[in-house]
């Protein structure tokens, strides 16, 4: 007799404490042995996830509570990784929606919750961070109810159970007055409100592939929920491809989940989430079925990409100096390998063998791929992100985003003015009374390209910006984006303090003295609309009256920090970002001719 099962997904907006809450559930379930060192953010296993404090890849774990196996799936909160969310919601029978007690539901809460409600899931709402100052737990519950009604939830879904919690302190309670020291109330709520899986172990096998993984020893590993039937180690099974083709193969390895580890098992039945090796050609959404009666499950539909960039072999004068993988074949192989696990990504070959059109869900989605590739030793260059247009009912349409800003009151005017120039339409404005305001806009996706850096300047770094895909709408007019030109290196060499100091009144530099530059490399932002070429390598002519130490007390302005994300947002249509394991450089496309200073 197999254990009772509950399959539950944890969904939330970025930074509402989802991964920390999962940490508390794992630690209190007893899966770690006594004395074992347990890191924070256990589920964020990827280096980038830990550095940025966000979940990028969905992951599953399993814990035991009162003889019930609870499979917990941690999902990304950012709309750019919605491809992960849409898949994994098909594996679960319930979900836990986490909202911040201070902020309430945010735009990407709306995005993930909408997907859950469409699947017919009945969420358990957890109001997290109740121990923080300015927390308003009951106000957050009211806002969640408003959001449920707005998203068209049915009566049963609107009667959601809710709890109050602090993931960091490791407790949850059904009422604010309760005295609780642990997560037991949340475990009980999962048993009470998440229905057991409805599959029938006696029917023919049906398992839907929802996540892909790769092992050097086992090859491609597919992870998914068994909808019907029983699967056994070593048995023959059929893979039903998207086009209806059937491929027979043997299950070479069958694994279940125990805490954070995968454990080998002999068999598993309907309702279990398992990992299977042996199907090298399996893709997301396809069905692994009984070999005698192969019946396919409905394919998983994932929202299409909205943004496209060109990835190309690096052809700058510094090409090949810093990367391990620099050829078009290596770049193509890496992008094709990414397609195996990144379901929301599209890669198309172009008329040039060393250029590839890569489409994704947003700047962050593509930025994470670029950052991962440069850390692996790849060297390449990318173009400005461009939105993907579509024809709807014979009319050209473009993607629109729902944008939410949390800004200081004195930054409101500047934000409203700039978003108006970018074709944004304000939907809502609320002044909070604590010197802050929240603004909501509907804006074309191309109006958001390059806005984040400008938004940080307008709010002096004190604003919070979130956006999620809304829908495709008829094309709007011209969008005004970057206003200033750039400063471009006039010759190759090493930049000097003397040259940078002399040109300081021309704009803001992205580099420091001693930086190697080449002709055509962008070294700063001009304070006028046109581009300007500068000699940033000029040296001071020394005499016996003026020595090299004469400028010691003179200081340069602090250069602007051009991180990868900032660079992707900043570049214009005639510019490129050169990405290597050691550097991120901006450059003009080689054909661009400019007036010299």
* Three-class DSSP labels, 557-573: CCCCCCCHHHHHHHCCC
Which residue(s) pair with 474 in the sheet? 397
Phi-psi map region of 183: left, alpha, beta (phi>0 left; psi -120 to 50 alpha)? alpha
How many Cα neighbours within 13 Å face the side chain of 442?
A: 9
Strands 346-349 and 355-360: antiparallel
DSSP letter at 385 equals -
Distance of CA 152 to the CA centre of its chain: 26
DSSP letter at 477 equals -
Strands 123-128 and 94-100: parallel
Which parts are annotated binding residues?
15-20, 128-131
Q: Distance (Å, rounded) from C-alpha 43 to C-alpha 21?
A: 10
Which parts are annotated binding residues for GTP?
15-20, 128-131
For the record, the structure tokens of 80 come out as 């750019």
- What value, to the nearest 5°, has the Cα angle with vertex 467 and ends 433 and 305? 175
Average pLDDT, 10 consecutive residues per value, the chain (597 residues):
77 68 72 44 42 46 82 63 62 85 71 78 85 79 85 82 82 80 84 85 85 76 86 87 84 82 84 86 82 81 79 91 90 87 81 90 81 90 89 87 84 89 87 79 86 81 76 81 82 89 88 90 89 86 58 71 83 89 89 45
Q: Distance (Å, rounded) from C-alpha 363 to C-alpha 380?
A: 17
DSSP letter at 89 equals G
Burial 298-310 (b: 16+ CB within 10 A, else e): eebebeebbbbbb
The H helix count followed by the E strand count for the chain is 14, 35
For the record, the structure tokens of 443 come out as 């804006």
Consecutive H or E run containing 474 = strand 464-474
- What value, to the nearest 5°, has the Cα angle with vertex 515 and ends 509 and 521? 65
DSSP 242-292: TTS-EEEEE--EEEEEEBTEEEE-SEEETT-EEEEES-TT--TT-EEE-SS
For the record, the structure tokens of 455 come out as 């938004």
Q: Which domains does the chain have, with CATH numbers?
A: 5-193 (3.40.50.300), 206-289 (2.40.30.10), 307-387 (3.30.70.870), 390-474 (3.30.70.240), 486-588 (2.40.50.250)
Main-chain dihedrals φ then ψ at residue 245, nearest 5 degrees: -65, 145
DSSP 280-327: TT--TT-EEE-SSS--PPPPPP-PPP-EEEEEEE--STTTTSS-SB-S
- For residue 433, the model assigns a pLDDT of 67
């Amino acid at each position: 007799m197999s254990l009772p099962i509950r399959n539950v997904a944890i969904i939330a907006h970025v930074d509402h404490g989802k991964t920390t809450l999962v940490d508390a559930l794992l630690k209190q379930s007893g899966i770690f042995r006594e004395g074992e060192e347990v890191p924070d953010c256990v589920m964020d296993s990827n280096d980038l996830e830990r550095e940025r404090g966000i979940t990028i890849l969905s992951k599953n774990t399993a814990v035991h509570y009162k003889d019930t196996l609870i499979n917990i799936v941690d999902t990304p909160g950012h709309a750019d990784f919605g491809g992960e969310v849409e898949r994994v919601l098909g594996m679960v029978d319930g979900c836990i929606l986490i909202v911040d007690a201070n902020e309430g539901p945010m735009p990407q809460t709306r995005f993930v919750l909408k997907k859950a409600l469409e699947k017919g899931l009945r969420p358990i709402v957890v109001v997290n961070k109740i121990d923080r100052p300015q927390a308003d737990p009951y106000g957050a519950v009211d806002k969640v109810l408003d959001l449920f009604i707005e998203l068209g939830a049915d009566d049963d879904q609107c009667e959601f159970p809710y709890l109050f919690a602090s993931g960091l302190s490791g407790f949850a309670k059904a009422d604010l007055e309760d005295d609780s020291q642990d997560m037991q109330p949340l475990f009980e709520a999962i048993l009470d409100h998440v229905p057991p899986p409805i599959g029938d172990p006696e029917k023919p096998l049906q398992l839907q592939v929802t996540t892909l993984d790769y092992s050097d020893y086992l090859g491609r590993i597919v992870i998914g929920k068994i909808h019907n039937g029983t699967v056994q180690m070593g048995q023959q099974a059929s893979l039903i491809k998207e086009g209806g083709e059937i491929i027979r193969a043997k299950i070479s390895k069958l694994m279940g989940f125990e805490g954070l580890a995968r454990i080998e098992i002999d068999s598993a039945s309907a309702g279990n989430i398992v990992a299977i090796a042996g199907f090298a050609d399996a893709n997301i959404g396809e069905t692994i079925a009984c070999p005698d009666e192969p019946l396919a499950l409905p394919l998983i539909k994932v929202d299409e990409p909205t943004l496209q960039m060109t990835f190309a072999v690096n052809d700058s004068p510094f090409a090949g100096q810093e990367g391990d993988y620099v050829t078009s074949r290596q770049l193509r192989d890496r992008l094709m390998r990414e397609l195996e696990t990144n379901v929301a990504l599209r890669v198309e070959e172009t008329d040039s063998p060393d250029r590839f059109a890569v489409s994704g869900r947003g700047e962050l989605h593509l930025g994470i791929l670029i950052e991962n590739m440069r850390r692996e030793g790849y060297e390449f260059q990318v173009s400005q992100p461009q939105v993907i247009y579509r024809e709807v009912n014979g009319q050209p349409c473009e993607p629109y985003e729902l944008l939410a800003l949390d800004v200081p009151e004195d930054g409101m005017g500047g934000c409203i003015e700039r978003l108006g120039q970018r074709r944004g339409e304000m939907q809502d404005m609320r002044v909070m009374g604590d010197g802050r305001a929240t603004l909501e806009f509907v804006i074309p996706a191309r109006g958001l390209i390059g806005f984040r850096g400008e938004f940080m300047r307008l709010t002096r770094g004190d604003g919070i910006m979130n956006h999620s895909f809304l829908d495709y709408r008829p094309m709007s007019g011209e969008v005004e984006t970057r206003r200033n030109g750039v400063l471009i290196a006039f010759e190759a060499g090493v930049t000097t303090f003397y040259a940078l100091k002399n040109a300081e009144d021309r704009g803001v530099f992205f580099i420091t003295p001693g930086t190697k530059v080449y002709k055509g490399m962008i070294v700063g932002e001009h304070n006028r609309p046109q581009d300007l070429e500068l000699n940033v390598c000029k040296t001071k002519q020394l005499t016996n009256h003026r020595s090299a130490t004469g400028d010691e007390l003179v200081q340069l302005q602090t250069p602007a920090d051009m991180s990868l994300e900032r660079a992707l947002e900043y570049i214009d249509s005639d510019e490129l970002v050169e990405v290597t394991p050691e550097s991120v450089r901006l450059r003009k496309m080689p054909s661009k001719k400019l007036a010299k200073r």
